[in-house]
Structure 1
Amino acid sequence: MGPLKGIRVIELGQLIAGPFAGQMMADFGAEVIKVEPPGKGDAMRQWGRLDANGTPVWWNVIARGKRSVTLDLRTPEGQDILRDLVGEADVLIENFRPGTMERWGLGYDNLSKVNPRLIMARVSGYGQDGPYSQRAGFASVCEAMGGLRYVSGYPDRPPVRVGLSLGDTMAGFNAALGILLALEHRHKTGKGQVIDSAIYEAVLSLTEALVAEYDSGGHIRERFGSALPGIAPSNAYPTADDKEVIIGANQDTVFQRLCAVMGAPELAEDERYADHRARGRNQAELDARVGEWTRTVPAQQIVDQLSEAGVPVGLAYTAADMLNDPHFAARESVVRVSGPERGSLAMQNVFPRLSASPGSIRGLGPELGEDTDEVLSSTLGYDDATLAKMRERGVI
């Protein structure tokens, strides 16, 4: 059922950031009505890898559990219909460029007159105000502005990108968190509000003490490859079977256990490595010493030995590894979801896990407009003749 059962969400967002917030709402039981342009729908329907039948699969993840309604918001009639939907909704999510909703007469000032309890989550690259608010803001450039790109990669090479749209997803996550906080505020006051989730700020929030380090001492954190400066040993190390194993043994007692498994317990007493700061000062040579050992041992043997000793260790998993891992299987971290137009599709489960009111996946992404008639008739009372006329005019 989910803790958000009974909450109705209108999702206007497209691509990743807004729809990811909607995905989280749907995962936890909200009725998410995704409004899409007639004829073409959300561009996410075409993004990502294709399955064996030539159909993009990403849509089925980010739109899972949602209902699809087609509506042309560029027309006055489409805007009127949206206002009617808002009157029956709790939340509206949008990630158009700031000012777009206002141009359509659908800004919060207008919509809150229709429904004073409405919570409006607005996701954009740079926020709803400020000198950059009108810039186009994809995750790539906003991740750079938020500080992530500069510290990602190796010092002798240009910044690299994480192989995911991390900024979009984090902005969607912040929007979802904001919605939950606003629902609690509304529970106390009866009033809705606006949530302003900017991609660059979502990334900025992940940057730990990066700003404070500069402000307090002029330190600018630089790229450092697969480790963090001053944190050792904590890196990716080569193995005898040409794999890489990730070891995190930078705490004193954990480092002692690593040294014992390596057959070199004396390293834990060596003044160069005896405490956290000493290991940080001698990071390069310590990493080299650990690597000398890992090169002589197969990856799985390292994982087994260090796990037994209580040292954090693991391999860099691919999707294939996840589907074959017994821990993933035991916790159902990956589940298979079936849909009427295809067989089953494996995807990540709903997180976090709630003991009393867990979320669930209620279906793959919907076909374009498959719920238009049912939503407009059951929610707004439109009859078949009215729906047919609106379809003829291209409104739905």
Structure 2
Amino acid sequence: MNDKPKLDFQEPVAADQVERILACIEFSKALVSAYDMDTLLTAVLERIKLLIPASNWSLLLMDRQTRELYFAVSVGVDHELLRGVRLKPGEGIAGVVVQTGKPIIIPDVSQDARFCQRVDHLTGFATRSIIALPLLVRGEVIGVFEVVNVENQEIFREQYLPLLEILGDYVAIAVDNVYNLQKLQARTFIDEVTGFYNTRYLACKLEKYIPEILKRGDQELSVVFLDLDHFKQVVDTHGHLLGTKVLAEVARVIHGVLGPEDSLIRYGGDEYIVLLPHCSQAKALEVVRRIRQAINSQEFMKEEGLNLRLTASYGIATLPHDAKDKDALLLIADRAMYRSKSRGKDCIMMGRDLVPAPEE
């Protein structure tokens, strides 16, 4: 009787390797569940600390508009010092990784001309060695992992570098997913006629701002309703298509007056809302006067040879002075705007008491 063939068992996997594999799986689960960048970066920070024995490392991400790298996460250096730092493609080791799409390992940066000392000078840090890995999605570099000043480079490269490469792939996919989700969310917040925000955006922002302001007790927020005067005559005379172009041009004129924190929302028809965070009623009145001046002095549809002149009626409401919730705030601003209409148009009314703005 023939002997049964012996099974060829492989050597058991080391316990620490099993732990790393399981931790890597948990890492991927944590990243997949992240739907916004803050949550994702927090997960990266917490998990990498547990998986990689490095006291100094950074995650740099690509700004998709400027194509510059910025420090999204940094360990071992005060992150506030890096908040405004941008690295261009080709600048420093990370910049070279962006250009080539390939990892770079430098045991001694003093011997490599590609190393840029700008970040060290800014932070007071002393970089001796760098391991930099690209984050790739569909062949495109979207960021760079940097591990700095590894104590035992040979052991790190043998035991942890392969793991870091896997983690980098997970991070790249997760970052790309968040970017794509942000694009989808942005589309749901954009008004198709003007290209600025819609009422979904307004509701989302007010739900965020109002609890914060009421909790702090030392800040204000103002909203402005404005409605174009006699706009129906424009549509009746020139048609809906040109009327739509006028709405978009008016929006651009208004937006040109606003600050970086302010938001322009098309509320519907020929009505707009301006959201002014951290803005008192007095400051809101200054903004509205600039908007009024800009609209009144503009000739619309000049390229079409029409040179239309427009005015608008305005209403201002301020939280918490006029109201303490979203619905009441919007109602008061809307009511103030309609009171402007009834007073003869092209004027400004303020607050729950419907006070006319003083003449300049």
Please indicate, yes or no, whether the TM-score normalized by the shorter chain is above 0.5.
no
In proportion to residue count, which structure has more strand?
2
Asked which structure has the greater CA Rg, the reply is 2
Q: Which of structures 1 and 2 has the larger relative contact order (alpha carbons within 8 angstroms, sep 6+)?
A: 1
Q: TM-score under structure 1 normalisation?
A: 0.27
